[in-house]
Chains A and B, each alone.
Chain A
Amino acid sequence: DAGVIQSPRHEVTEMGQEVTLRCKPISGHNSLFWYRQTMMRGLELLIYFNNNVPIDDSGMPEDRFSAKMPNASFSTLKIQPSEPRDSAVYFCASSLDSGGPSYNEQFFGPGTRLTVL
C-alpha cells in the first residue's frame, strides 16, 4: 500500500494567493483528517470527514479555509486568500472507522510544508 499521499510536498506562495493542498487517503479507509502543525500551537485538527461528509470543522481557523472530499479517494484543503500566518506543515491522515467505540489508528501522510511570503 502506498500510504497516504499528499501533494505538493512543499509550497511557497505570496500573500493573497490561493493555495490548494491535496490528499489521497489509503484505499478502503472511510475517515479523513486534516491537521496543521506549527511551532507555536503544535498539531491541531482542522477538519474531520467520515464517508466523504464533513463531520467536524470546528478547527478550521476562519472562512479563508475550506475543505472538500468529492469522493473516497481524494480531498483538498484550500486557503484563499493566503496569509503569512498560514505558514505551517499541513498533514492529512486517514483511518478505517469500524464503527465501534475503540480508537481507529490514524495513518499520516508526509505533509505539505506551506510558506506564505
Chain B
Amino acid sequence: AQSVTQPDIHITVSEGASLELRCNYSYGATPYLFWYVQSPGQGLQLLLKYFSGDTLVQGIKGFEAEFKRSQSSFNLRKPSVHWSDAAEYFCAVGGKGTYKYIFGTGTRLKVLA
C-alpha cells in the first residue's frame, strides 16, 4: 500500500535550535518526494522536492531534506529555527508522470522565543 507517515504530530523547539521532521513512505515505484509548509490560514507552499540524483536537496527558507532509500525516509532539517517557521509541515510522495500525490498527516511546529 502507498502511504506517508509523519510520526510526530507536534514538535516544539526553541528559536535558534536545530530541527528535524521525520517522514517515512511506502511507494511501489520510484518515489518523488516533497515537503510542503502550511502557515495558519494559508494554503500549502512547496519547500523542496526530490526526483533523483543528489540525495540531499536544498529548499527555500533554509530547509534541506535527505532521501534515504534504504530507510524509506525523507527527513526535513533546518540548522537554526526562526520564530516565523512555526507552521504545519507536510510530507508527500508521488511518482513519475503522476498528478496524484499522497500526503502525510502533518507535523505542527511550535517555536519558543
Contacts and interface: CB of A to CB of B under 8 A. Distances in A.
Interface of A: 3-4, 9, 31, 33, 39, 42-43, 45, 48, 55-56, 91, 93, 95, 97, 101-111
B43 A109 contact: yes
Nearest to B44: A108
B1 to A, nearest CB: 14
Given A43-B90, A106-B101, 9 more contacts: A9-B41, A39-B105, A45-B101, A48-B99, A101-B96, A103-B49, A103-B51, A105-B49, A108-B44
Output the residue of B44, B90, B97, B101 with the most chain A CB within 10 A.
B44
B51 A56 contact: no
Given A102-B51, A103-B51, A91 B99 contact: no
Interface of B: 32, 34, 36, 41-46, 49, 51, 90, 94, 96-97, 99-101, 103-106
A42 B99 contact: no
Among B34, B43, B51, B104, which residue has the most Cβ atoms of chain A within 10 A?
B43
A110 B103 contact: no
Contacts of B32: 103
Nearest to B42: A110
Contact of B43 (A56, A103, A108): A108
Contact of B99 (A3, A104, A111): A104
